[in-house]
Amino acid sequence: MSKSKAIIKTEEEIELMRLSNQLVSKVLGELSNYIQPGISTLRLDEIAYTYIKDHHAEPAFLNYKPHSSKTAYPYTLCVSVNEYVVHGMPKKDCILKEGDVVSIDCGVKLNGYFGDSAYTFSVGELKPEVMQLLSVTYECLELGIEKAVHGNRVGDIGYAVQVHAEKHGYGVVRELVGHGVGRSLHEAPEVPNYGGRGRGMVLVEGLVIAIEPMINMGTRKLLLDQDGWSLRTADKLPSAHFEHTVVVRKGKAEKLTTFEFIKNGKTAVI
């Protein structure tokens, strides 16, 4: 992730970003039509790729190579099932089944600007304790967004997320964080899901950030698969991940992404 100074967006840039973030929201909505027992995570990736290209945009994750990685990411989506937290690689032999949860992280590039969002879907009926994990993680996202206002600090967002998650006995992932978004997929500042109130960079109107709680049912500790990307919980308990891209405003943050395109019945939280 870039260590450079955060870039404040003009209103014209925000309008362009609104388009890219609306598109990524529609991709998640399109995928909600297909999430059911029997579909492979690779098939979901193919559906997303086609949808993005048909809308004259580029998949943001495809061939993305951060400085910390030896290899570029080879897929359109990150599809993380059950104990997988983030960066799960789509696979032909990874077939969704009743009772699974699947976190889908998607990014697009449209008109030179990036959109980024993630959602954890339910596959059929979930156990009550897993439904609660999804609901609490979603609440963490909303609580974090409430703090993304002019004059607050980055630490206020992380504190709100961490306190709510840990109140329920959940583990808050620390190795991965939210981030600025703009002409680059990952810009300054980093937006952790933990922290102290009144700490970190001051939030300024026009800053665009992705807030993305990654919350584990058990330990916060992670293990990395041999593919060099897929991260899973060390205790193999489920994880949930929700993400919105928002604009810091005075009084109340403005969401550029939305979950309104996701069909009811595909999740425990809307």
The structure's pTM equals: 0.96
Average pLDDT of 11-25?
98
Domain 11-255 CATH assignment equals 3.30.70.141: no
pLDDT tens for residues 30-78? Answer: 999 999 999 999 999 999 999 999 999 999 999 999 877 788 999 999 9
- pLDDT above 80 (res 112): yes
In this prediction, what percent of the chain has a pLDDT beyond 90?
93
Sign of CA dihedral 173, 175, 177, 182: negative
- pLDDT above 60 (res 1): no
In the structure, what pLDDT confidence band is assigned to residue 110 with cuts at 50, 70 and 90?
very high
Domain boundary assignment for the chain = 11-255
In the structure, what pLDDT confidence band is assigned to residue 265 with cuts at 50, 70 and 90?
very low
